[in-house]
Structure 1
Amino acid sequence: MSYEHITCDLDGPIMTVTLNRPDRLNAYTGQMGAEIAQAFERADRDDNVRAIIVTGAGRAFCAGADVSGGAASFDTSGKYGAGVFASSKQSGGRFVEAIFNCRKPSIAAINGPAVGVGITMTLPMDVRIAARGAKIGFIFARRGLVPDAGSAWFLPKLVGLPQALRWCLSGRTFDADEARDGGLVSEVVEPAELLHRAREIAREMTEATSAVSVALTRQMLWRFAGAPAPFELLDIDKPMSIERGGHADVREGVQAFLEKRSPSFPGKVSQDMPSQYPWWQDPG
């Protein structure tokens, strides 16, 4: 599949999505949003893909929305605003859903400036690491906008409400160290080591784990992290554990542990998800 605003490369089980408008600091467009969604949907369907890394070409991760239209850049009555928001139903609005629903873990390798949608697009991803010197900002209040891409839901879950309020209400930019101290990114590394470290993290999550278990676990954690009580989860995890207990993945995991060797899990996300999945769509 060919893309215009991103590139997509597969190296073994790791897919790397690169935002690819370096001449514009990878400024976001509706087309970019659509292509990100397509890449994540492709990864979700492909059993050969176990993890996804997202980074930026050149010196930026993503400098926010493309403001080539000047003051009218967000006015949807003109072509520039229409291009930025083209995603709302067909493309760009879908990238959040595609990342969130993807059954493969994702890592944002923030190599440079990430502001506005350039940082909010990373929030549905599972891990964020940043290069030393990267600048980050939830700058919406300084543009007369509101936080986008579901970030008013994601950000407080990740960093807590007080920190989310402080960053979003001021709209200021801050450095990678502050992002780490506030819980937004887990690590700050030297720029030359960023992708290497992202691949290490991807391998940690994939080399000795069941693809099906990882897919289920990330959905359980994301969907129940804010639940008011554990009872709905208990109604799901017990029958799911019982069903999984009879699967070849579990037999292999236990046998590998007993034999002190690395497991080779046979389960495939495309065909071995338990009958309870997706539980949030169960009308009962």
Structure 2
Amino acid sequence: MAYETILYEIEGPVLTVTLNRPEKLNAYTAVMGAELADAFHRADADDDVRVVIVTGAGRGFCAGADISGGAGAFDAQAEGSVAFAAPGQARQAGGGFVEAIFNCRKPSIAAINGAAAGVGATLTLPMDIRLAAETAKIGFVFARRGLVPEAGSAWFLPRLVGLPQALRWCLTGAMVGPDEAHAAGLVAEVTPLDELMARARALALEIAENTAPVSIALARQMLWRFSGEPDPWGLLKVDGPLSLQLGAGADVREGVGAFLEKRPPRFPGKVSTDMPPGYPWWEKA
């Protein structure tokens, strides 16, 4: 796919996806949603990509849906609509990028460099780590537009910040600063704008240089999928067999050997060929 609204740049083990409509503060369109989904599918299939960073070009991250077409912007029947799907149809662009990010076997980092409103905020929620510049503002503004939280955000947001905070942000629809987002746990760190990408890349390299790709792919799915369970019994049925399977494998031998020899690990496992038989356990269930 030739991209119109994003940039796809690989440097070493890190892929940087840049939302690239700076003249519109990277406002979301259906094309952007499809391209973002395609980028994550590509990253998932590319063993050379270990971590994905998503940021915005210019002074904004993503100012929400592009409503420059007027009041019909969210009408699925209107020309130029940014709606995720027409009435009665399955979600396409919105469901597409949420599923692609959530199911990607590579961890992702959102580097929020400016305003992230509406879908600009919710598209970061399936990502694993969010960093924010001191200039960033984040808002779940849907009720102020007559909409409901979309892109799965009513599921993701309470898991990240708790139900009371999610309710407050969604019911007021207010934009909040990076310090409030950090205090609530939505963003992991707040940095000066000119240090944001360097910090995101340093974090990405810490993951890429020290961890096993297969372990990371499994760990992020275990954490996401079991965090809301009322007890650990379902997880124990999954992590026990996975631990036995991995324990007899080459990655564990390399990880232990590297630790004992005090050298960087060189994990041989690849997500394209070496995922254990129990994965994906949720489909088999």
Q: Same fold (TM over 0.5)?
A: yes
Q: Deviations over 1:183-218 (max 9, x none)?
A: 111111000001000001111212111000000000
Count residues in correspondence.
282
Quick one: structure 1 residues 140 and 91, their matched pair in 2 at CA, closer, same or farther if it must change by over 3 Å?
Answer: closer
Q: Is the CA contact 1:68–1:80 (under 8 Å) kept in the aligned structure 2?
A: no
1:108 pairs with 2:110 = yes
Distance in 2 (alpha carbons) for counterparts of 1:237 and 1:264: 24
Distance apart, 1:22 and its partner CA: 0.6
Distance apart, 1:77 and its partner CA: 2.1
Q: Deviations over 1:25-59 (max 9, x none)?
A: 10000110000000000000000000000000010
1:227 pairs with 2:226 = no
Q: Percent identity between the aligned chains?
A: 66
Q: Determine the structure 2 residue equivalent to 1:203.
A: 205
Distance in 1 (alpha carbons) for counterparts of 2:237 and 2:83: 42
Q: Is the CA contact 1:51–1:105 (under 8 Å) kept in the aligned structure 2?
A: yes
CA-based RMSD of the aligned residues comes to 1.2
Query: Which deviates more, 175-184 or 213-222?
Result: 175-184
Distance in 2 (alpha carbons) for counterparts of 1:43 and 1:62: 21
Q: Is the CA contact 1:28–1:84 (under 8 Å) kept in the aligned structure 2?
A: no
Distance in 2 (alpha carbons) for counterparts of 1:90 and 1:115: 21
Q: Determine the structure 1 residue equivalent to 2:40.
A: 40
**TM-score (normalizing by structure 2):** 0.96
Q: Determine the structure 2 residue equivalent to 1:15.
A: 15
Distance in 1 (alpha carbons) for counterparts of 2:91 and 2:139: 26
SS in 2 for 1:73: helix
Q: Is the CA contact 1:5–1:31 (under 8 Å) kept in the aligned structure 2?
A: yes
Distance in 2 (alpha carbons) for counterparts of 1:159 and 1:89: 26
Query: Which deviates more, 198-207 or 144-153?
Result: 198-207
Distance apart, 1:86 and its partner CA: 5.2
- In structure 1, what residue type is equivalent to 2:41? E
SS in 2 for 1:207: helix
Q: Is the CA contact 1:116–1:137 (under 8 Å) kept in the aligned structure 2?
A: yes
Q: 2:182 is matched with which residue: 180, 183, 187?
A: 180
Q: Determine the structure 2 residue equivalent to 1:144.
A: 146
SS in 2 for 1:79: coil
- In structure 2, what residue type is equivalent to 1:68? S
Distance apart, 1:85 and its partner CA: 2.5
Gaps of 5+ in 2: none
Q: Deviations over 1:59-107 (max 9, x none)?
A: 00000000012112112221132x4435953433200000000000000
Distance in 1 (alpha carbons) for counterparts of 2:220 and 2:84: 29
SS in 2 for 1:129: strand
Q: Is the CA contact 2:84–2:92 (under 8 Å) kept in the aligned structure 1?
A: no
Distance in 1 (alpha carbons) for counterparts of 2:28 and 2:199: 25
- In structure 2, what residue type is equivalent to 1:178? E
Distance apart, 1:228 and its partner CA: 1.3
Q: Determine the structure 2 residue equivalent to 1:280.
A: 282
Distance in 2 (alpha carbons) for counterparts of 1:97 and 1:179: 24
Q: Is the CA contact 1:31–1:86 (under 8 Å) kept in the aligned structure 2?
A: no
- In structure 2, what residue type is equivalent to 1:144? G
Q: Deviations over 1:142-186 (max 9, x none)?
A: 111000100000000000001101111000111111111111111
Q: Is the CA contact 1:132–1:191 (under 8 Å) kept in the aligned structure 2?
A: yes
Quick one: structure 1 residues 160 and 280, their matched pair in 2 at CA, closer, same or farther if it must change by over 3 Å?
Answer: same
Distance in 1 (alpha carbons) for counterparts of 2:271 and 2:255: 16
